Amino acid sequence: MLDRLTDATILALRCPGSAWPRGLLGGPPIPDAWMGLVETPDGRRRFVPAGEDPRPARDDVLLLVRNRAITVPLELHDAPAACDHGVEARVELLVRPERQETALAALRQNLLTQPELRLDEFAAAVCGPGGAVAALRAYVRSRPAADLVGTDPEPELLAHLQARLGPWLYSAGLTLERVATAAFSSPALEAQRKLQLSTREAAARLEAREAVEQAALTAARRRVEGLSAILDKLRSAAGSDDRAGWQALLPALTPAERGRLLESLWRITPDRHVAAAILAVAGDECLWLDPCDPLRVQRRVQLPTTLGPPRSVCFALDTAGSGSSPAGLVLVGAQSGVLVLDADDGELLAEYPVPGTRELRFGFNRVALSGSRLIATHSELGCWTWTRDRPDSPDALLVPEGGTPRTVRAATFSDDGHMLFAVDSAIRVHAPDGALARTLEISRGGVHDLAVSGEQVYAATADGLLLADRWTAPQVWQVLHRRADPIESLALRRWDDLVELVIPAGEDGVLGVYGDVGIVAQLVATPVRIRRAWACDDLVVGLSEVRDRLVVLNANLPDSVPRQAPTTRLTRHSIQDVCIALRRAANPADAAGESPS
Q: Kindly report, residue by residue over 52-78, the tens digit of the pLDDT.
A: 999 999 999 999 999 999 999 999 999
- pLDDT grade, residue 593 (50/70/90)? very low
The CATH number, out of the four listed (3.40.50.1820, 3.40.50.300, 3.30.479.30, 2.40.50.180), of the domain defined by the range 70-185: 3.30.479.30
pLDDT at 102: 93
pLDDT at 590: 43
Distance CA 56, CA 54 (A): 6
Residue 37 has pLDDT above 90, yes or no: yes
pLDDT one-digit tens code per residue, 409-426: 999 999 999 999 999 999
What is the DSSP secondary-structure string of 341-386?
Answer: EETTT--EEEEEEPTT----S----EEEEETTEEEEEETTTEEEEE
- Phi/psi for 482 (5° steps) reads -135, 135
pLDDT at 221: 65
Omega before residue 405 within 30° of 0, cis: yes
pLDDT at 23: 75
Mean pLDDT of the chain, nearest integer = 88
Helix axis angle, 255-263 relative to 187-238, nearest 10°?
A: 130
pLDDT one-digit tens code per residue, 394-410: 999 999 998 889 999 99
pTM of the full structure: 0.62
Residue 254 has pLDDT above 80, yes or no: no
Measuring CA to CA, how many Å separate 555 from each of 223, 271, 528, 578?
14, 10, 20, 19
Distance CA 108, CA 114 (A): 9
pLDDT at 242: 63
Helix axis angle, 101-110 relative to 154-171, nearest 10°?
A: 80
Please give the CATH number for the structural domain made up of 245-584.
2.130.10.10
The 3-class SS string of 220-249 reads: HHHHHHHHHHHHHHHHHHHCCCCCCCHHHH
pLDDT at 268: 67
pLDDT at 210: 78
pLDDT at 357: 76
pLDDT one-digit tens code per residue, 344-367: 999 999 999 998 877 899 999 999
pLDDT at 250: 73
Lowest mean pLDDT among 59-68, 452-461, 527-536, 559-568: 559-568
Q: Are 421 and 367 in contact (CB under 8 A)?
A: no
pLDDT one-digit tens code per residue, 506-557: 999 999 999 888 889 999 999 899 999 999 999 999 999 999 999 999 988 8
Residue 595 has pLDDT above 60, yes or no: no
Domain boundaries, the chain: 2-66, 70-185, 245-584
DSSP H or E stretch at residue 191: helix 187-238
pLDDT one-digit tens code per residue, 164-206: 999 999 999 999 999 999 999 999 999 999 999 999 988 888 8
pLDDT one-digit tens code per residue, 137-159: 999 999 999 989 978 888 899 99
Q: What angle do CA 7, 13, 16 make, to 5 degrees?
A: 125
pLDDT one-digit tens code per residue, 45-56: 999 999 999 999
Single-letter amino acid code for the residue at 560: S
pLDDT at 596: 34
Distance CA 536, CA 530 (A): 17
